[in-house]
Structures are given as C-alpha cells and as structure tokens.
Structure 1
Amino acid sequence: MHRTSLTIMKTLALLAMTFTLVVGSHSISLAADNSAAIEAELVVYGDTSGGVSAAVQAARMGHRVVLVSPYGHLGGMSSSGLGWTDIGNKAILGGICHEFYHRIYQHYQQESAWNHQPREKFNNVGQGVPALDEKTELASTFEPKIAEQVFDQLIAEAGVTVVDGRLAEQQGAVMSDNRLTAIRLEDGRVLAGRVFVDATYEGDLYAQAGVSFFVGRESNEQYNETGNGITGPLGGNQLPDGIDPYIVPGDASSGLIAGVNPTMGGPVGSGDQRLQAYCYRLVLTDLPRNRVPIEKPADYDEAAYEILFRAIEVGQTSRFFKLDWVPNRKTDSNNASGISFDYIGGNYGDDWNWTTLSYAEREENAAKHRDWQLGLIWTLQHHPRVPESVRRRYLPVGLSKDEFADNNHIPYNLYIREGRRMVSEMVMTENHCRNKLPIDDSIGMGGYTLDSHNIQRFVHNGMVKNEGDIQSRISGPYRISYRAITPRRTECDNLLVPVALSASHIAYGSIRMEPVFMILGQSAGTAASMAIRDDLPVQEVPYTQLRERLLQDDQRLELPNKK
C-alpha cells in the first residue's frame, strides 16, 4: 500500500473520533464522524477556471477527484462577468483551455443561442481578435451563463465530484509534518486526499498549510525589476488635472475628500503592502425586456463620489465604465478611466487586506464594492451634479435579468485581481515575462501585457492623482515554470498552486489571466496524476515525463521557434 494511502487512513481514523488538539493556549475540537469523511486521490479547493481544469485533467487521467466549490458556481471570473477575455496571444491556447473557448464558439453557431439579438447584429469585436473567430473556431467573448454551462459540462463528463463548501477558517488544513492529509470545511465535513490543489484566487488553502506567501508590491530592487513597487502618478487610467483634494476646495484645514491619501507613502520603486483595486465585472444591457434598472443603494453616500463630480467639472464626460459587448446585447463592463468601477483603496487598510478578512468580512467588503459600482451608475444616470447629456447617455443601461438570477443579477465573484502570491523556490518576475531569464521547465505560457490597476489616490502638486497603474507591453509569449506552482518541499510536498502562484506583483499582473489559469490548472492536474501514480512529492515529478504528457494533451509550452 502507498505510504500516502496509509496516511489518509490514519487521518480518517483520527478525524472519526472526538478529541482535542492543543495549539499554544487554544483548544480546537476536531470532532467528525465517518459519514462526514470523503476520500479522493485528488482534492481541488477552489471553483475557479484553473480549479475546473485541474480537476477535469486528473479525472481524465483516471483518478478519483473531488472539487470543492466555495461559491456554488463553477468558473470563477470566467463565469462571473469576465466575458471579454484577456488572451494576450492566441498562440498560448491549448488543451482544456482551447477546448473551453471552442465549445463556447460552437454554442454560438446555433441559431437558438441568439435569443436577445440577431447574430448579424453582433459586432464580433474582441480584445485584439474577433469575438467569434471563424479561422480558429474560438470564442473570446461570451455570456457568463454560457461559460458556466461549459464548465459544468466538462466536470460532469469527466466524472468529477463537486462538493459545495468553504474551508474552515481555523484548522481547515490538516497537516502531518510537511504534508496535507485532509481539509476540513466549515460544516465539519472532512475531505482526505493524496494530492491537493489550491485553485483559489486568494491562496486560502496554502496559507493555512503554512506555505510562504507575499501580499502587496515588492520593491524593484528585490528581484531586479523596473515595473514593481510604487509607481508615482503615471498616465494610465489617470485622473484629469485640476481635481482639488480638499473637502472645501483650496482649504487644506477642511480635510481630504473621501479615498485620498496625503502622500504616496514611499519613494518610487519602493515596496508596500497595498493591493491593486478590485471591481465586479457587471453584465449590463440596454435591451428593455432583459434590463433590470439600477436602484440607488440603500447606503448611498454622495460624498463618496466627490472625485467623480470634480472630474466632470474639470472636463471628463465619458469613459466612466466600459461597455464591451458580448453576445445577446450584454456587456462585460470593467473599469475604464481614473474614476470608474475600480473601488481604489477599498480592499485594504492600515492593518488588514482582503486576504486577512474572515468570510463574513469579505462578504461585507464585497457588498461595499458592489454598492460603489451601482452607486456610480445611479449617480451618472440621475444626480443633478452630472450634466444632462451624460445622464441621458448612461440612463438606458441596467443589469441583465437573465444573468446571476439567484444573486440579484450581480456576478458571484468579486474580481480578486491579486491576493496572496506564493513564494516558492522559483519566483516568476518581470525578467521572465520579458524572456530575459530562462525557464527550462515550462508548463504553459503567458502573453498578456504587464498589468496592474491603480492601488491608491494621493495628493500630488495640489491635485488628486492615482498611483499604481501599469500597462507595459511585452515582446511575446513567455514560459511559466513548474516550480512556480509547487511550494517549497519543506513546507508542503503534495500541494500544487496554479492560480495564486509564485510570482512578483508585476509578473503576476501578466500571468493572472483566465486562459493562463486554465492552462496552469491542466498542468497541475497532470502533475498531480503523476505524483499519485508514482507516490512522489510533487516537487519530484520528473519534468521530462510531465512535459511529454503535456504535449500529448496539446499544451503549448513554447513557441515553435523556441526550445
């Protein structure tokens, strides 16, 4: 019998009893019963696109797989409003990722798919590629509910067991030395496995397992980068000049308006613990029969939109949010300018950030993000300080009635652009993304711009300015290292991390695209299968064998002219 199987049996036996574990001065009940214990070869925690790909791949390779879904809906951001895909370079798309976008393309070839809009009326515009590309037979734009249907199909066809639930906030990771043996959910259910995948955007499982991580921005000096750390008031998604920072314009003694810091907090290039802004990718429509009007949020505070009013006063009349069209007259609506959907500074504070919050606190914080965005739309549609011409332009849009119907038409996932980032033996940096440093154990490629949304607002030369936005082009696709998804072996030897992986802030800004998460998820599922089959720590999976199987399954590990 494999040593890992023996460990699982011992773990289940222990968890079937009621006993007390003493940790420091705290006593923690580990009560459970046999009926609550679930055993699998691979346990995937997280219902993101990367989690789905990892689970499907391992199941296709013949393993018993359980996927734990914290949201009760599969696909993460790909089924939560991000329907205008950030591909970067279509050459990177292979395997399950390619299959996902091809299945969506096939869906829109059916006449019945076009229930709100004739197909010939769709503009077919995507980000740098046709939305529905006849040459590649891939779809890069789509409705969230169709994405979720495809994820559900992939999981069902592969025979993956899906369990709805969240990791217990305390003692959720059950460890034996440097090995995960089980995870415990909030309701006491226990899932034992031989290998685990943390596919959350936040890295919640590996944090509990004691794996090293970083939150915030490293200094440029740390990894010899140029695009990390505090940026200064750069031009991308910047506020227009002339916005006075004080409650009473020109009077510093009146205090700063909402959301503005007095300084940047450090010199350009230095690190900090702040996070780039989050938002919901709202799905809007101007089609009356499918539109839910935007109501004024119950806790609406006019003062929260003072920067918006002042931006309009100094001349801004558009780009308050995007209207990127997906099929059936719906949008993927994202941040579009210096004052837009991003709730800048809303995901961290002096002694907290999104990753440190309890589940209840995250839900409260997500509600603040939701209300900020709904309040911004309502303000643009109705507030008397907004010119009538602007109000008239934005008034036709509302939430899509046939999306997220069980969640008041709000996406299930807030867009966690960045949370924890693992620190393993290999940290992906800007220099890897620019192909200045070699990668000899590629498990997939990235190809998107080095990207960060704004991180704070501060007073600069007597005006309010944004700080943190980076949009720096790269020359082409780059390899991503297997070591970047494996923790240090001394910390955990049976865990893979394809989403909140080991990368610097700015490198993660390119890697963090949904196609890449699917690619890395499939590679993680393949490595997990090999670790299970040969009873190996994930760090010892032979790369030559891993590479052979990845290529067999159509993963793209480098461009044809690269070795």
Structure 2
Amino acid sequence: MISKRNYGSSLKFIILAIAIFSVGLDAAAQAIVKTQKADVIIYGGTAAAITAAVQVTKMGRSVIVVSPDNHLGGLSSSGLGFTDTGNKSVIGGLAREFYHRVYLHYQQDSAWKWQRKSEYGNKGQGTPAIDGKDRTMWIFEPHVAEKVMEDFVKENHIRVFRNSWLNRASGVKMKAGKITEISMLNGEKFQGKVFIDATYEGDLMAAAGITYHVGREPNSRYGETWNGVQAMVFQHEHHFAKAIDPYKIPGNPNSGFLPEINSTPIGINGAEDKKLQAYCFRMCLTNKTENRIAFPKPDRYNPQDYELLIRVFDSGWRALFNKYDPLPNHKTDTNNHGPFSTDFIGMNYDYPEAVYEKRNKIIKAHADYQKGLMYFMCTDQRVPKDLQQKLNTWGLAKDEFKDNENWPYQIYVREARRMISDYVMTENEVLGKRSVPFPIAMGSYALDSHNVQRYITTEGFVQNEGDIGVKAPAPYGISYGAIVPKQQQCTNLLVPVCLSASHIAYGSVRMEPVFMILGESAATAAVLAIAKKTSVQEVDYKELKALLLKQKQLLRFGVPN
C-alpha cells in the first residue's frame, strides 16, 4: 500500500516508468521502420541507379534506391548535358527513353524561356542535338535531366532514401558469400535479395570485400598499348604546345615550382601507377544577362595558383572558349580544354579510398580551384583583354542548381575504383581486336583519358601527361562478366558503374548513356537471379539476352542480335 507521504513520488515514478516504456516502444518501432526490405537494393543516385530501379519495377519486383545524394541523376543532372553519345544507334532501352523524354520536353514552347527554338541550332557531339526522325534529343539543361529522373521515380513509385551514406567501415553484413544487409551512417538498414552498386566510387563493392583496382595498370598486364604512363603522347589539345617555364621565378630553379606541378620522376611509358585522370565540375554557364550571375570569388583564393595560365596566354594560346558547348536557352556545358583549364590535375589521387570527410575536402578544393580560375580570368589585369571582356559576358546560370549557389551538385568522377572480376574489359575489346562474350550492352566512345599529372620534362619545361584519345573503329560489346564479381567473393552483387575494366578501357565505357544501359541490364539480371534462385554469376545468358532484346537493347553491331 502506498502511503500518502510517498504517493506523489510514487506517482511520478509510475508516470516516468510509463514514459520510459513508451519511449522504448517508439525506439523499437523506429528500429523496425529503419530496417527496409525489398527484392533489390540499389546503392547510388546516378543515372545508372535510376534506370536500374525502373527496370526492376517493370519486371514486377520491389526495389529501393539508397542514394547518398539529394539530387538524382549523377553527372547527367549535374552539368554534363552535351552528351558523349558515340554511335547513338547502339543506345537503346531505358537510356533511349531518357533521351526521348528530353526530346518531348523541348518540343514544348514553354521549354524555351531564354531563347527561341529556331535560334538554338542543332549541334551535338558527333550527332545532331535534336534528332526528329528518332524523336530523341542528346543535349539538355541540367534541370531537365533531373526532372526526367524524378519523373521516372514518381511514375514507377520507386522508394528513394536520399542523403543516406553507407557505413563503409562496418555497414555490410554478409553470410555464405551473400550480402544480407547494408546499413547507413544515419542508422537506416536495408535488406534485399540482390544488391546493385551504382555509385561512381564503388563504395558498396569495396565494403563487401570485392577485389578492385585504383590507378593505371601496366600495358603488360592485359596486352595493351594505351594504358600506364603516356609521356609526350598528345592526342587532344590539352598539352603545352610551347616551352613553358615551371618555376615561380622564371629561369630560377631555386625559387621552387609553380603549384600542382609534380617534381618527382613519372616513370617509363607503359608503366603502372596509382594515379587517376583529372576531375572537374561541368559548369552550366550562360551569357543571357537576365539569367547570369557573376563568377564568385571562392572561399580560398590565391592568384598565384593561376600563374601558369598567364604564361600559357603569353605564349599565344587563345582557345579559351572551345569547350563552351551550347545547351538550349543560351547555356553551356563547359568542360576542360587546353593545357591549363578546369581539370584540377593531380589533386584527386586520394579520392577513391578517402573517408567521407576527406572526400568532401577534396571536392571543396576542386570547387575552390575552378571557381578561382573563373574569377581570376575575369579580374586579373594580366589576362588578355579581349578574352577577359568576352569571359565577363558569361556567368553561372541563375536557374540551375538553385539550392547549391548555382554550382553543380556532382563532381565529375571520371574514374575511381574499378572491380577486378574473372572478366576484365580492355582496350582490345574496345578496339575490336578481341570478341566479347555474353554482351549485355554496347559502347562506342573513344579510349578517352584526361591528363593524369603535370610534370617537368628532361628539358626542364612543364608538361601534362595522360591525355589519350584513340577512336574505337566500331561499337563493341560489354560483357556480363564485367559487372559481376568473382563468385567466391559475392554471389548477389552487380556493379554496372565501377565495372571490371582496365584504366584505358574504362575511358571508353564511362559514358552516361552506357551507364544507364548497364544499370538496366544489371537490374534485369538481378530479377532473373531472384526468380531462378541462383547466383548472379549463374544467370542463364540466353534468358538474359532474350529479355534485353525485348527491352530494345542493342547487343551486337552490324549483325543480327
């Protein structure tokens, strides 16, 4: 019996106990809510992730997209609107549907806010921007691509968990060679039958213990010519065509090197290293006054960082605007061009393996460098006046990336990790020297690598290294074996972005339309594996091929599929 003297405190204890019990129930309920289940779990917010999710849904299975990003579509939605099509005839399935939807958008008068459609022109990369016959459009503004991706999600009722970052240290649970659950830094957990890593970095793949490579392999490893170090090989216009002094005080080695110049030996041609082709942001610029924002001064700005560019200008170089590729509405997809440009050469080597905090610092350094470059060219008195005056008619587009100070959401991760599976795509497949077994997609772009490092030649001048562009003679197949890990490592994971390919072969594969195609093919294989209760490695290729052809994919070029 409770005494009157203790009644108040006892009542408080009972109320507190009830509250604690209720909180416990809420916590348990939240724990249940935080463990989400679906047939297929896709990690990533790229275009490959979304096309994969759409295909899973179309095949009647449940799917969840777990995206580290708030904005979906990866580079396709983040400035890369001047599509690297290669041979557009081999772009099929949901990838072609994406470009068809872009076409439909620009058929509307309301899409042309800052420019008449008749004034736009029709320039694409190796193909007309607008293909009326096939009802596709290959060139687009960033927000248009993002809208198409969001429409895909909405129409297919796809569950997307945004801003969800994989716990890379301990967030992958495996049992008997299968991933059973992945957990995020925010506590969310996801359980599925098959998992797809559709990130540019390959974080889920790496956390699952799959073997992978970072950097350039030696030519000897896969019998290649264009892998490894490629000093004094110039296949684009991104090298120093004239002798440029590398020292802070010209002619004085004791003064030290200008920033971002590698002073150590670079190795012999064809040798391996752990270095990566450069990253940048694909800027969406405009010269429409009403929609233009002046280039901002970055948080970290040092004019000395761009001294080398002044020396390039002084040498007579003037091709500054050659990669201001036109998008609709007086906008651009502005990419790296020339010996000193938007690529932050040599500053990304640590990115693939870096923890999130360090990656963010690398991304911020790239943004500061690129913003600083634009600000420098617009304001520094040493920049040639004619170029400076023209540049000052350009700026960031007010109506793009509006919640990110008009700066692209996604840095251009041209390569990071690449899986090493039983089958590795090499330049031999890309160049048609070797046939491809079990094709699930086609590529057609050139072997394409941006510069990897900036170094000092034996003559004592600065030079760039790693820029390769070797045309593929014809579209080539991409093998199913390149997107599945070795069976002894994991039997329910597919990797359509950081697939098994050498550095130089990946330079051709790494195009956004190809990633979309590979995402769709990976999803199809995932559903087949679930339906047949088999590993992803043991999926029946005949069944997979039949489904891909039904989805209007292209698997072989110039011969019946």
TM-score bracket, shorter-length normalisation:
over 0.9
Q: CA deviation at 1:519?
A: 0.6
Q: 2:474 aligns with which of 461, 473, 476?
A: 476
Match of 1:380 in 2: 377
Match of 2:3 in 1: none
Q: How does 1:318-333 map to 2 (within 5 A)?
A: 318-319=319-320, 322-333=323-334
Match of 1:26 in 2: none
SS at match of 2:515: helix
Equivalent AA in structure 2 for residue 307 of structure 1: L
1:84 aligns with 2:82: yes
Q: 1:397 aligns with which of 394, 397, 411?
A: 394
Distance across 2 between alignment mates of 1:96 and 1:389: 45
Q: CA deviation at 1:321?
A: 6.4
Distance across 1 between alignment mates of 2:526 and 2:125: 33
Q: Please identify runs of 4+ aligned residues in structure 1 that moved more than 4 A.
A: none
Maintained 8 Å contact 1:321/1:341: no
Match of 2:538 in 1: 540
SS at match of 1:354: coil
Q: 1:415 aligns with which of 400, 405, 412?
A: 412
Distance across 2 between alignment mates of 1:397 and 1:320: 11
Maintained 8 Å contact 1:419/1:500: yes
Distance across 1 between alignment mates of 2:322 and 2:365: 18
Q: 2:51 aligns with which of 28, 46, 53?
A: 53
Match of 1:96 in 2: 94
SS at match of 1:130: coil
Match of 1:185 in 2: 184
Match of 1:489 in 2: 487
Equivalent AA in structure 1 for residue 117 of structure 2: R
Match of 2:210 in 1: 211
Distance across 2 between alignment mates of 1:480 and 1:505: 15
Distance across 1 between alignment mates of 2:536 and 2:122: 42
Distance across 1 between alignment mates of 2:535 and 2:490: 9
Tell me the C-alpha RMSD between the 2 structures: 1.4
520-529 or 386-395, which moves further after superposition? 386-395
292-301 or 405-414, which moves further after superposition? 292-301
Q: How does 1:310-321 map to 2 (within 5 A)?
A: 310-319=311-320
Q: 1:514 aligns with which of 493, 497, 512?
A: 512
Distance across 1 between alignment mates of 2:165 and 2:527: 24
Q: How does 1:117-136 map to 2 (within 5 A)?
A: 117-136=115-134
Equivalent AA in structure 1 for residue 240 of structure 2: L
Distance across 1 between alignment mates of 2:306 and 2:195: 44
Match of 1:162 in 2: 160
Shift in CA distance, 504/93, structure 1 to aligned 2, threshold 3 Å? same
**1:389-431 Cα distance to aligned partner (Å, 9 max, x none):** 1211111111011111011111111000000000000000000
**1:71-115 Cα distance to aligned partner (Å, 9 max, x none):** 111110000000000010011111000100001001101111101
Aligned-residue identity in percent: 46
Q: CA deviation at 1:35?
A: 2.4
Maintained 8 Å contact 2:199/2:498: yes
Distance across 2 between alignment mates of 1:90 and 1:35: 44
Shift in CA distance, 264/474, structure 1 to aligned 2, threshold 3 Å? farther
Distance across 1 between alignment mates of 2:287 and 2:82: 18
SS at match of 1:520: helix
**1:352-402 Cα distance to aligned partner (Å, 9 max, x none):** x10121212212211111111111111111101112112111111110111
Match of 1:229 in 2: 228
51-60 or 415-424, which moves further after superposition? 51-60
Q: 1:111 aligns with which of 63, 87, 109?
A: 109
Match of 1:357 in 2: 354
Size of the alignment, in residue pairs? 530
Maintained 8 Å contact 1:44/1:65: yes
Q: CA deviation at 1:139?
A: 0.7
Q: 2:438 aligns with which of 441, 446, 449?
A: 441
Maintained 8 Å contact 2:497/2:518: yes
Match of 2:343 in 1: 342
Match of 1:176 in 2: 175
Equivalent AA in structure 1 for residue 224 of structure 2: E
List gaps (5 residues or longer) in structure 1: 1-17, 19-30
Q: TM-score, normalised by structure 2?
A: 0.93
Q: CA deviation at 1:262?
A: 2.1
Maintained 8 Å contact 1:232/1:264: no
Distance across 1 between alignment mates of 2:179 and 2:340: 44
SS at match of 1:42: strand
SS at match of 1:443: strand
Maintained 8 Å contact 1:321/1:340: no
1:309 aligns with 2:310: yes
Match of 1:22 in 2: none
Q: CA deviation at 1:32?
A: 8.5
Shift in CA distance, 150/46, structure 1 to aligned 2, threshold 3 Å? same
Distance across 1 between alignment mates of 2:189 and 2:510: 30
Maintained 8 Å contact 1:32/1:188: no
Distance across 2 between alignment mates of 1:408 and 1:361: 22
Distance across 2 between alignment mates of 1:554 and 1:465: 46
1:432 aligns with 2:445: no
Match of 2:301 in 1: 300
SS at match of 2:219: coil
Match of 1:10 in 2: none
Maintained 8 Å contact 2:47/2:73: yes
Match of 2:9 in 1: none
SS at match of 1:545: helix
SS at match of 1:230: coil
Q: CA deviation at 1:296?
A: 1.7
Maintained 8 Å contact 1:66/1:160: yes
Match of 2:6 in 1: none
Q: 1:558 aligns with which of 551, 556, 559?
A: 556
Maintained 8 Å contact 1:320/1:335: no
Distance across 2 between alignment mates of 1:264 and 1:139: 46
Maintained 8 Å contact 1:320/1:341: no
Match of 1:281 in 2: 282
Larger radius of gyration: 2
List gaps (5 residues or longer) in structure 2: 1-23
SS at match of 1:181: strand
1:503 aligns with 2:501: yes
Q: TM-score, normalised by structure 1?
A: 0.92
Distance across 2 between alignment mates of 1:321 and 1:162: 39
Distance across 2 between alignment mates of 1:307 and 1:272: 25
1:371 aligns with 2:364: no
